[in-house]
Amino acid sequence: MSRPKILLCLDTDPQPSVFDGVVAVDAGVDYLFRHGGVRPADVRDLVYGAMFTRGGEDLKNTAVFVGGSDVTAGEAVLHAVRESFFGDVRVSAMLDSNGSNTTAAAAVVTARRHIGLKGAVVTVLAATGPVGSRVVRLLARAGAQVRVVSRKLTHAEGACDRVAATVPGADLLPLQAKDADDEASALEGAHVVIACGPPGVQLVTAAALTRNRTLEVAIDLNAVPPTGLEGVSPADRAASRDGRLYYGAFGVGRTKMRIHHAAVTQLFAANDQVFDAEEIYEIGLRIEE
C-alpha cells in the first residue's frame, strides 16, 4: 500500500498561496504542509524532514512546491532545496512562484498550437521579467528567432546573454523599446507576439496591431486592463480579428491551470525530478497531444 501524498509548500510570502493549495488538492495531494515566509536558511531542515522520513519507493510520495509572489526569492529557495539533497536521497521539487513557470509554458504552448515555432519570428515584450525571461528561454529552445524587447537595451542584452549561456545555438535579438512606436517596430516581420508586461500597462496601440501585416498570433499575459496589447480582452481565447488570433490572460489561463495540475500530479511519479520552466513546458506539450 502506498503512502499518502504529501506536498511540502514552501512559500516566500508571509501567507502561503491559497491558489497553489487548491490546485494541489485538485491534483490529488492528500496532505498539504503549507509554510509561509520561507527563507533559504529555513529550507534545509524542512527538506530534511521530507527526505529522511520515508524510504525506497515511498520517498516519491513526498514532494516540494516552491511558491510565492517573488520569483527571485522562489528561485533562491529552490536552489536551497536542491542543495539539501544527498545523492539519491532526494524528493521531487517544482518552482512556480507567481505562476511564472506555468504561465510561460502556457503562453508558448498556446503559440505552438497555431504555428510551428522552429524558425518563426517571435517578439517577446517586457522580456526581462520573471515570466518574459522564461518565455524567451522556452522559445529559444524550440528554435524560434526571438526578439527580446525591454525598456533598456542593457537589460535586453543581459537577458539574451543568460539564455545563450544555457541554450546552445539560441537565436536571440535584443531590442530596446522606449515607447509605443519602438514596440510597434519590434513587431514588424514577427509571426507571434507575447506581451509579458506588468498589470495595467499598455505597450502596443490598436492602430499598430491593425497596421501589422505579419503577426498570426498575439498573446497578452496582462489580466488587468488596460492590457499590454490595446484591444485585447483578458478573456480572448483564439479570438479572430485583423486576420490573426488573439489570446488574453484568462484565455491562456485554462491551459496554464491544466499544466499546473498536471505538473503537481507528475511530481509524485518519481523522487528525483526538478520542475523549472523547461520541464513544465514539456508537461504542457504532453497535455496538448
Q: ∠ CA 16-20-22 to the nearest 5 degrees?
A: 110
- Using CB under 8 A, count the residues that bind its own copies: 37
CA distance 285 to 112: 9
Q: Is 15 in the site for its own copies (CB under 8 A)?
A: yes
Nearest to its own copies of 20, 276 (CB atom): 20
**Is the Cβ–Cβ distance between 146 and 139 less than 8 Å?**
yes
* Residues found in the chain: 289
Helix axes 130-141, 100-112, angle to 10 degrees: 40
Element (H, E) at 240: strand 237-241
Nearest to its own copies of 26, 288 (CB atom): 26
Q: Is 237 in the site for its own copies (CB under 8 A)?
A: no
CA separation, residue 146 to residues 154, 226, 276 (Å): 16, 25, 20
Q: Is 21 in the site for its own copies (CB under 8 A)?
A: yes
CA separation, residue 11 to residues 31, 63, 266, 267 (Å): 16, 14, 20, 17
Q: Across the strands, what pairs with 176?
A: 150
Q: Is 6 in the site for its own copies (CB under 8 A)?
A: yes
Find the part of the chain contacting its own copies (CB under 8 A) among 45-53, 173-181, 194-202, 208-216.
45-53
**Is the Cβ–Cβ distance between 37 and 9 less than 8 Å?**
no
Q: Is 32 in the site for its own copies (CB under 8 A)?
A: yes
Nearest to its own copies of 125, 221 (CB atom): 221
Grid cell digits, residue 18: 491559497
**Is the Cβ–Cβ distance between 37 and 62 less than 8 Å?**
no
Grid cell digits, residue 105: 509554458
Element (H, E) at 246: strand 244-247
Find the part of the chain contacting its own copies (CB under 8 A) among 28-36, 109-117, 172-180, 232-240.
28-36
Q: Is 211 in the site for its own copies (CB under 8 A)?
A: no
Q: Is 85 in the site for its own copies (CB under 8 A)?
A: no
Grid cell digits, residue 90: 532526494
Provide the minimum distance between the beta carbon of 220 and its own copies in the complex, in angstroms, as a whole number: 18
Q: Is 235 in the site for its own copies (CB under 8 A)?
A: no
CA distance 280 to 289: 15
Nearest to its own copies of 13, 157 (CB atom): 13
Q: Is 221 in the site for its own copies (CB under 8 A)?
A: no
Q: Is 194 in the site for its own copies (CB under 8 A)?
A: no
Provide the minimum distance between the beta carbon of 181 and its own copies in the complex, in angstroms, as a whole number: 35
Q: Is 59 in the site for its own copies (CB under 8 A)?
A: no
Element (H, E) at 67: strand 62-67
Q: Is 57 in the site for its own copies (CB under 8 A)?
A: no
Phi, psi of 170 (to 5 degrees): -60, 140
Among 1, 2, 14, 169, binds its own copies (CB under 8 A): 14
Nearest to its own copies of 3, 114 (CB atom): 3
Among 115, 164, 239, 257, binds its own copies (CB under 8 A): 257
Nearest to its own copies of 4, 198 (CB atom): 4
| List of residues contacting its own copies (CB under 8 A) | 3-4, 6, 8, 14-23, 25-26, 30-35, 37-38, 42, 45-50, 52-54, 62, 69, 257
